[in-house]
Chain A
């Protein structure tokens, strides 16, 4: 695959990088060596001196204000404040956006409301979602939006409109981006599998290394524990299942969001010493916990369109995984690879039933795990993923010049009265799916905003 022609494409990669606790930082770091076989990569970081030494030894790392000239900017964006600087760059300079989450609502909230700029947030909501955005934004700005409203109003328009192309790690993201940006290059790039221990340890080896007794039936919820991971439900389900499975243990393998009352849930359910929480883990120990599990829980609701790296790893090491139905975790994998449960009013009952079935049937767990491992190894290969992304970036770069001009022209009016008026009109067209409809708004509205003809 390597050739001088492909190597000559210079790409600036904007992303949090290890040791940042972001899962996206790990994802990007894993992909870089494979991607570098196809592209000339420069890394851009908010604080280059803090980037893991192993990366600095392999790649040139630049601060944001000194990003070198490149053929293409590649922005890795997730829905967290850790990506705020990438978001700002993506809004300022057209590039290719890798959307790890479809919704960027929390990121924008952090950039606006949490900095005291409620007006800025409401403008973004209006720009992206019109009258409904104004109404909903007022609720969310007053912390009345709950978890669901930010997921329903993704606030990603500014990035989408400013992108030369979009990459989504799920079909959820791809299909929405394609609908939002007709005619613009959009790629579905399945989340790659990368295992620090490959081949992975056996269940017994992993348990020995972690000090987990072999006779335990371990249900593991991997990754940062947040409200969306449905751990209240997992705790209650585990407590109910202990009557039939007294050796059952629930393990949270990762950090716990300090705002999450996990200890209260455990105490309330009477789970006691059948619960363990590990805190932040090295990638190696994280993989050992996945290998040590009998069943992995990867529940998530509401979804922001993301694909869990922990889920891909769990499947890659051949573990049966319970996921939330109607989310990319369920939709990206064929039936039988994962066990979906409906995040509806009977979610707990379904979880108890599905977990109970899996815990009671070692053969079923093995069958699911074998299918999962084979599927992920075939469809989520790291090298193939890097090659696919490189080819897509080359195509995007080749076609980028007119699009770049158009994006920059559209942005010229932003921030002023003319931009505001244009958005007020454009939203009506966007609502009808006509976002790129040429309406000569500049001519129609320029005079109203005081522009001399």
Chain B
């Protein structure tokens, strides 16, 4: 039995999409007959001055064996796990440390342009390039992540989309009277744009937001401030069953983060045969959504998003069904078997 170690960087007490994906990767490796485990080292990405030292912990580890048993393959996932040394290292890149790359210079970045932070950015870029170059193969969870890798590090990565968490359970239960978002409530998801747009829609559209996160109070305040409580509902954390039902009953999904790595919402909506409203700068979702065929791609401005939502609400159910089918065709082949096959190729 071949042994595979999945390398995870985790912030203790926080469970997000990456942690769930790591856990599912392990389960699916085991399902396919590998002896799999997860090597996880906590990662704290602030203050900026400490990032490099935190990252180097991975370089000092020896993961070639465990208790006398050879580790046949390591699969690093995100920064800084790919700094690990191993003769057979195959990366499945969720994302790099984006603040040092595409988020630099945006309000979502804590790096300054000072000499200290510049040194850290340069070091991250050099370490990423060098350590990812050591990999036998680099896979990425989206074309967007692969594009960044090419642009900033000059490295090629092959896209290997991860299946969503409830694969096999998504269904369509009609086209209801609400737009749906599910996910963490943080700034990069830009739900403030959606709420602002809901203040401008003329069609009587409603938005249901499922999930929790650091921006919850701020969003609630915005909803009350704009007086759109009748149109926007914060559902908080929902169970897996509720989530599947909410997708099944919605008219369409809303997903407009800033340059998202991948974005499960799009894939989950399409697997539920629902169109998606997104924006031109959303990143990962744009790999799936085709404007006018499987959804709407608006400019990232409240007025433009409101226009897209009004257009969505004006469509007959038959048209929504067609768009949903178009989306479904785009994601139907995403599954764990091809992911495991590619990651363990030649093992």
By a beta-carbon cutoff of 8 Å, the part of chain A in contact with chain B is 118-119, 122-123, 126, 131, 134, 417, 420-421, 424-425, 427-428, 444-445, 447-450
Q: A417-B122, A417-B123, A425-B56 are in contact. Are A448 and B131 (CB under 8 A)?
A: yes
The size class of the interface chain B forms with chain A is 20 to 34
Find chain B residues with CB under 8 A from A417 CB: 122-123, 126
B65 CB-CB contact with A under 8 Å: no
Q: Are A447 and B134 in touch, CB under 8 angstroms?
A: yes
Q: Which residues 112-128 of B sit at the A interface, judged by CB distance below 8 A? A: 114-116, 119, 122-123, 126-127
Contact with A along B128-144 (1 / 0, CB 8 A): 01110010000000000
A174→B60 CA distance, assembly (Å): 34
In this assembly, does B321 line the interface, its C-beta being within 8 Å of a C-beta of chain A? Answer: no
Q: Cβ of A119 and Cβ of B115 under 8 Å apart?
A: yes
Q: B55 to chain A: closest CB distance in Å?
A: 9
Residue B59 CB within 8 A of the other chain? yes
State in angstroms the CA–CA spacing of A444 and B84 once bound together: 10
Chain A residue numbers with a CB within 8 Å of B131 are 447-448
30 contacts between A and B (CB under 8 A): A118-B115, A119-B114, A119-B115, A119-B119, A123-B116, A126-B49, A131-B49, A131-B50, A134-B47, A134-B49, A417-B122, A417-B126, A420-B123, A421-B123, A421-B127, A424-B53, A424-B56, A425-B60, A427-B53, A428-B53, A444-B59, A444-B85, A445-B56, A447-B130, A447-B131, A448-B59, A448-B83, A448-B130, A450-B129, A450-B130
Number of A-B residue pairs with CB-CB distance less than 8 Å in the complex they form: 53
Contact B126 A122 (CB under 8 A): no
Find chain A residues with CB under 8 A from B56 CB: 421, 424-425, 445
Minimum C-beta distance from A439 to chain B (A): 8
A425 adjacent to B126 (CB under 8 Å): no
Which residues of chain A have C-beta atoms less than 8 A from B205's C-beta? none
Query: Which B residues are CB-close (under 8 A) to A427?
Result: 53
CA distance A445 to B134 in the complex (A): 13
Tell me, yes or no, whether B212 is within 8 Å of chain A by CB. Answer: no
* Chain A min CB distance to B35 (Å): 27
4 closest A-B pairs (Cβ-Cβ)? A119-B115, A424-B53, A134-B49, A448-B130
Kindly state the separation between the CA atoms of A427 and B126 in the bound complex, as whole angstroms: 21
- By a CB distance below 8 angstroms, the chain A residues around B122 are 417
Chain B residue nearest in CB terms to A138: B116
Contact call B52/A420, Cβ cutoff below 8 A = yes
Pairwise interchain contact A448-B127, C-beta atoms closer than 8 A: yes
**Which of B49, B114, B127, B131 counts the most chain A CB atoms within 10 A?**
B49
Query: How far is the CB of A169 from the nearest CB of chain B, in Å?
Result: 35
Q: Name the residue on B nearest A137 (C-beta).
A: B116
